[in-house]
Amino acid sequence: MGWKKARRRTATSAALAGVVALVLAAPPSVGAEPGSGTAPLSGAVAAAVAVPSQQNASPTPPPPRLPRDFRGKGKWIVRDLDITVPFTWEGRDGDSQMTAGGPQYPIWFTNLIYHDTLYTLTYKWPGLNEHPCSRIPGFNLEALNQGFENARFVGPETLRRTPQRRVNHWRVGVVFPNLPPGNYPRLPLALGDIYVDENNRGTFWQVLQFGVQNLYDPALDEWLVMDTFEHRPGTVTLPRRCEPPG
């Protein structure tokens, strides 16, 4: 909603990574699917599985809000590496966990919000030899949802999948330095496009993340695409490697 693989980074960019929860760059092109043969925008951003909805203009809906309890399955897509692996995202009592891949896949990582701490642990990634469990204390579901409050509404769209899904498209991001409008140098640290169900802002169907939280990927962008998303408690398990010593 968002969180990412274990790496050294600022707490601010980590908060938006993950989803979650979560963060990317340029506007998606119409009708292309992540992982397809369509060329990515600017060489770094995968094309979205979305087309503009034909609805009439309406008031801005409330921003995305990750629920306390949920469970879903889908795919994690790293397009420039031509890798797609199974993905699960689950929440229970405000804690939540993303898991992509597994020991039999080229990518395997987990991200957790657990007891007011953000954990990221990468078991496998091409070219990676370090596998620490990163901890950022003082981060929880409330902090994530507060970050979503500042998301910008892009518009209603339809995800061209089976089944097709009507969604609201949102943009979140962290830019450095924080300067007023005008001719100032600034860099996008973490940007994200989030697609939530048109009728339920707590149902997340797709997220494109782009930025420093995707440091392991050469193009700095990765997708999560959900096939299912249910509002009932999931399972959240802190890996043994992330448990405090003692």
pLDDT range class, residue 57, cuts 50, 70, 90 = low
| Cα torsion through 70, 75, 76, 78, rounded to 10 | -160
Chain segment 171-216, per-residue pLDDT in tens? 998 888 888 999 989 887 888 999 999 999 999 999 999 888 888 8
What integer is the mean pLDDT of 101-126? 96
Q: Which two tokens stand for residue 172?
A: 């979140």
pLDDT at site 188: 78
- Residue written as token pair 């398990």: 237
Look at the domain 11-56+64-241 and name its fold.
outer membrane lipoprotein receptor (LolB), chain A (2.50.20)
Rounded mean pLDDT of the chain? Answer: 82
Percent of the chain having pLDDT more than 70?
A: 76
| CA–CA separation, 231 and 91 (whole Å) | 9
Q: pLDDT for 28-45, tens place per residue?
A: 323 334 544 333 333 333
Q: Comparing C-alpha atoms, which of 186, 199, 146, 197 is closest to residue 21?
A: 146
Listed in sequence order, the DSSP H helices in the chain are 11-16, 141-148
Q: What is the pTM of this model?
A: 0.79
Q: Check residues 187 and 101 and name the one with the higher pLDDT.
A: 101
Give the residue-averaged pLDDT of 72-88.
97
**Strand bridging mode 187-197 / 18-21:** unpaired
Report which of 46, 44, 95 is spatially closest to residue 67, judged by C-alpha positions: 95
- Could you tell me the CA-to-CA distances from 68 to 42, 108, 126 in Å, in that order? 36, 25, 33
Reduced to 3 states (helix: H, G, I; strand: E, B; else coil), residue 80 is helix
State the average pLDDT over residues 16-32.
34
Q: How far is CA 158 from CA 96, 155, 179, 197, in A?
A: 27, 10, 34, 10
Does position 155 have pLDDT exceeding 60, yes or no? yes
pLDDT above 90: residue 152: yes
> 66 pLDDT exceeds 60?
yes
Q: Give 69 or 39, the one with higher predicted confidence.
A: 69
pLDDT for 189: 83
Residue 165: C-alpha distances to residues 64, 69, 102, 115 (Å): 16, 22, 28, 33
Higher pLDDT, 191 or 124: 124
Distance between CA 210 and CA 17 in Å, rounded? 9
Kindly tell me if the per-residue pLDDT of 93 is higher than 70.
yes
Say how far apart CA 25 and CA 212 lie, in whole Å: 11
Q: So what's the pLDDT on residue 44? A: 34
For residue 14, what is the enclosing H or E element? helix 11-16
Question: Lowest mean pLDDT: which of 15-19, 79-83, 143-147, 172-176?
Answer: 15-19
Whether 153 shows a pLDDT value over 80: the answer reads yes
